[in-house]
Amino acid sequence: MMHELQSLQDRIGYVFRDQKLLEIALTHASYGKPDNQRLEYLGDALLGLIISALLFDKHPKANEGMLTRQRAFLVKKSSLAKLARVMSLGKYIRVGLSVGDVLTDGMLADALEALVAAIYQEGGLPAAQKVVSYCYASYFSEDFLDVVHKDAKSALQEFCQQRRYALPDYQVSEKRVGDRVGFEVCVSIHELKMTATMSAGSKREAQYAAAEKLLDQLQEAGIIKHEYNRSKAH
């Protein structure tokens, strides 16, 4: 186990002084106590803070709404699970016999959050920031924000095409607040009588945001059974 954990530490660029802390971070509740549930709780909050700061620094021209949506994308369970798979984190996680060989997205995401918390506990915020920045490096290219929104719009169109619906209808209206001009976009799927409306400083951004909101509504209504996959954009 110790040899395997060394390869993980080499991968993330951080070596634990307390190897027991690392083991706890990688221990699912089904395996027994101590497990990683408390660390997962802390890691969830830490990732939100660290990702917010990274987005703020790396995308100085992005507005608040766009940054908020990108943070939500980066810290959601499916994104964390994807990153955990890239890191091969699953082979280091200890689980009980009842779990079997298949780790769920939730287990992978929780372990990644717990790992970040363990690094913070031992090395402080700078160490946690360094590891998160390294692991998420591919998500912070210059066109990342635009790519994610484009994929949300494409996903909505593909959903309609698969069901042989008419393509999503985007209604754009200009909105002026003082000296500033913005745009409000209402996107609808006529066959389902569902709509979503979002506003933004540009027509394109408002369209992407509205598409993403409508996709979320489709998930909440149970019409989309599994979360739409935006990972192919990366």
Residues taking part in catalysis: 44, 113
Query: Would you tell me how many other CB atoms lie within 10 Å of the CB of residue 147?
Result: 15
The tokens of 39 are what? Answer: 């660390």
First to last CA, the chain: 32
Q: Are 57 and 206 in contact (CB under 8 A)?
A: no
SS3 (DSSP) at 115: helix
**Torsion on CA atoms 211, 214, 218, 219, rounded to nearest 10:** 80
Q: Which residues contact 191 (CB under 8 A, 6 or more apart)?
A: 163, 165, 166
Question: Which residue from 51, 64, 58 is spatially nearest to 209, judged by alpha carbons?
Answer: 64
